[in-house]
Structure 1
């Protein structure tokens, strides 16, 4: 499976987005993706861990806030200091104006860049097998289902779909019916697909870094809103709180974590802005949280344990030791 395809199914604080017109999709997965860098030799791997309170939703709609509480837990047998940063990845479908672009094919496709267009469940909308309407059908390929509904006297609506692993996918066709023979003829049958668009990635710790005034939004898409706890400051250095360094792309905790202690929360939620349009259907968004830890000593901080740490933040952390 190529990298594009991988991006269409997962996330770590991971959220991907869907609009309400295409059925229910879940594009959230929860994995622990932690980078621990230890600059002193005395901290074993696993001394700090990302902890979260996150429940994967069945479908995430514009305007819906999803609880995602994230903190750092110390498993060390000595006090530590920590910093945290984000990596983002975004995969959207090709768009045509304010909607996703659809491609039609004569047969099913195996190209991993193509995603079949989901179908609604027509049976829940009063559609049924044409035979129950007294109609005979010609021209429907094997593995394809046709359903129909009488909407007026001598007037019917028809739809096609195919099913894969219990999921329904939309199809297109031309329908002609002869009332004298009660026969429906189906022609020009097409399988419909969306196509993966350009993917993008952002490591907050690599320049250019997000501005302090911009951290409440994804660095890749301003419709994805990041909700922080009251213990996060955009630029003010305050004891026992997180502060964001816009010159390095890291959040620093201004204090120490004792053995077994959990830090104040940094994230509390992620929201898809209510103004997100149809181009956000089937979007896949990943937000990986990574942490670095040091022994809580002045020597570790002054010795370059956190490369690029601003002097004022370093001094504030040392004052808390």
Structure 2
């Protein structure tokens, strides 16, 4: 039988061992911008006991385009000298701007939320002007305009080469394009000094975009009236709403080995697909063999409320199998979903350290709710772990 001193010594050892079993957190965060020339990758990682996140991230050379996949490999690394149980979680932040369907009235002072055209892009002329010039400096084109510009005038339009035409004076410029024998669409811009501004657009029945000219879309009238010209507005942007549980879902698609993040866009409604932003977090090829996803709360399918548990003890000096392989901006995302987009994917890490002399058995561990966790079944270091929830 141990004496009292030995019992006290054993209690101190036990308390010390339990103290080592601490939960730590580390964050790995990155982001990229689309519809701009800037790409930012943010990464932070910190952890006690030497367990942290390691990643390989290859940002896009230019804009992140729908359908484009970006390499983003995420694992956990144990640089300490004790084994650990590991779990990770993913959280998402979306911010940026989207076109305001209402637009903004043209005024002497351009509103700050008016959308400026990037004239450095090689195709800006083809994008914002095409066809015959019918409105010059805010008024219907006349034969005198054609004479001054050195172009032919026909059927109420100046027959300019719209790909190279450059206005010299400020004002509204609109070009028409014949869709078929009787109907037209319109494009153009507003010039103010050295800046050009996008006009508010509407979508025709055939999917074409046209300047939002009152009562003129998809009709035979080929020359806008003074009243219709006065009704033209500038395109305006507004901030995308923050991600909430009501406007975003993040669901594990086991059949395709990915997490599908669906953000409801400006209207906050994920069921109206025209403005949805869909991002696929592609999991590692052998994800299901190495990780287990468990919701934190019963009946919740959102990955923002769950964790990914490593299916084995992460030995000292070891690196885990990859959790994430890449991220894709889904090809179904439409161009009216955003004008600028920032997406932050934060990878969080928790670890429970195991002291070298601690027996690695399941006897004292259980997976609980409210962030309490430990392996349900574990043998010795390196053996497979089956994760279940209490």
Aligned equivalents of 1:66, 1:151: Cα separation in 2: 49
Superposition TM-score, scaled by structure 1 size: 0.59
User: Which residue of the partner structure matches residue 285 of structure 1?
Assistant: 343
Paired residues of 2:117 and 2:198 also in contact (CA < 8 A)? no
Answer yes or no: is 1:118 the counterpart of 2:145: no
Aligned equivalents of 1:194, 1:285: Cα separation in 2: 18
Change (3 A) 1:243 1:305: closer
Q: Give the one of 12, 17, 20 matched to 2:29.
A: 12
Aligned equivalents of 1:76, 1:286: Cα separation in 2: 29
User: Which residue of the partner structure matches residue 322 of structure 2?
Assistant: 265
User: Which residue of the partner structure matches residue 72 of structure 2?
Assistant: 68
Report how far residue 13 of structure 1 moved: 3.6
Paired residues of 1:88 and 1:287 also in contact (CA < 8 A)? yes
Report how far residue 120 of structure 1 moved: 3.8
Paired residues of 1:13 and 1:68 also in contact (CA < 8 A)? no
Paired residues of 2:278 and 2:333 also in contact (CA < 8 A)? yes
Give SS of 1:283's match.
strand
Answer yes or no: is 1:230 the counterpart of 2:292: no
* CA shift digits 1:246-268 (9 cap, x unpaired): 34500011123333322111111
Aligned equivalents of 1:209, 1:122: Cα separation in 2: 35
Query: Which of the pair has more CA radius of gyration?
Result: 2
**Larger RCO (alpha carbons 8 Å, 6+ apart):** 1
* CA shift digits 1:16-59 (9 cap, x unpaired): 544xxxxxx256422224475xxxxxx44xx2222221122111
Superposition TM-score, scaled by structure 2 size: 0.50
Aligned equivalents of 1:218, 1:276: Cα separation in 2: 12
Q: CA RMSD in A?
A: 4.5
User: Which 5+ residue runs of structure 2 have no aligned equivalent?
Assistant: 1-27, 127-135, 139-148, 163-172, 174-188, 201-229, 265-276, 298-305, 384-390
User: Which residue of the partner structure matches residue 354 of structure 2?
Assistant: 296
Answer yes or no: is 1:55 the counterpart of 2:58: yes
User: Which 5+ residue runs of structure 1 have no aligned equivalent?
Assistant: 1-10, 19-24, 37-42, 128-136, 140-149, 174-186, 203-207
Aligned equivalents of 1:68, 1:310: Cα separation in 2: 27
Answer yes or no: is 1:103 the counterpart of 2:89: no
User: Which residue of the partner structure matches residue 242 of structure 1?
Assistant: 291
User: Which residue of the partner structure matches residue 29 of structure 1?
Assistant: 40
Report how far residue 231 of structure 1 moved: 2.9
